[in-house]
Structure 1
Amino acid sequence: MGILYSEPICQAAYQNDLGQVWRWIKEDSNCINVQDGFNGDTPLICACRRGHLRIISFLLRRNADVNLKNQKQRTCLHYAVKKRFTFFDYLLIILLMPVLLIGYFLMVSKTKQNEVLVRMLLNAGAEVNAADCYGCTALHYACEMKNQTLIPLLLEAHADPTIKNKHGESSLDIARRLKFSQIELMLRKAL
């Protein structure tokens, strides 16, 4: 399933079709930052929604703007941090777990891919404290998802754990509310 985009390059980026993305950019280099008429996603946001590292790397090398926002005021960093395992990933992990811990290694590999993705975006100049329409930063979402691998990366890039969202909650408040004591400790150290 997934999302249908009105811009062909956005659809190609979402579907991990590097050949099509390359063809569209070769034809018109300005389409690299085109925003889809439906929700304002750029090709980079589309690729980040699905974690397509090759397409993301390709777009970043061609100077795609990492700080463009869609209609929900989200950047590609928001989507990279919000990225979860798919149902298919979980199914594979569960099925392969008893088989020589292949499931465990698959899970570690997927987590590492997400870490690489966030690092790529931060290195490309993604604004770490950009807030979406709910006032949430990438750090808010990382805390909600209890993502202990991404939080240190965001803090290292100067994510501010005291920024409050529209509900008046900071990342630290979220960690405290959800009783994620290790994350709360990480955030306190960053203050």
Structure 2
Amino acid sequence: MRMEMKRGIENSVLIDDSYNSDLGSLQAALDQLAVQKADGQLVILTDMYQNLASDHLYKEISEQLNASKIDHLVLIGPEIGKFQGLFKQNRIDHFEDVEAYLSVINPVDFRNKAVLVKGARAFRLEKLVHRLQAQQHETVLEVDLHKLGKNLEYFRGKIKNETLIMVMVKAFSYGSGGYEIANFLQTQNIDYLSVAYADEGVALRKRGIRLPI
């Protein structure tokens, strides 16, 4: 999986480099972290699995991280915790696994920060990334057909009986269901439907709307 940039919680920038634990990619991830406009840098790093002795591996990793402007370092895993003393960041936390970190995570730690998540596939970091990612909520528009009928009834009361009524179903009713709105209006005995685009009229006709459009 390639590195991904995401919107994080608390107005943070989230760099998702999970499942990419090779030593060579660490510097590239740190370089990406360094160019983010943020109030600080937070790195979450798990045990790294390489063909190197642990003391040599974590010495190299610590040198790369210590040369960066990282304010807060979170180490996850039993092996990396043994070498916590090599790291020189102002704040260093260590957890045995992702679940332990998730149980005490404080959203305030991420406020306006640039955050890098990097680690080994075995740690299943997707759960952590999901927790740190700003959630996208869908907007749902509900149309009350009963009230729509009441509105139509009100305007009917303001015009002469012989006056014809045209109702515009605009832009597929703004995503609220063009056919459903048109079909309801058809049952209310209006005289014409109007649409913004010919394609909308074709779509309504194919769905069985019989009114002049």
TM-score (norm: length of structure 2): 0.26
TM-score by length of 1: 0.28
Higher strand proportion (structure 1 or 2): 2
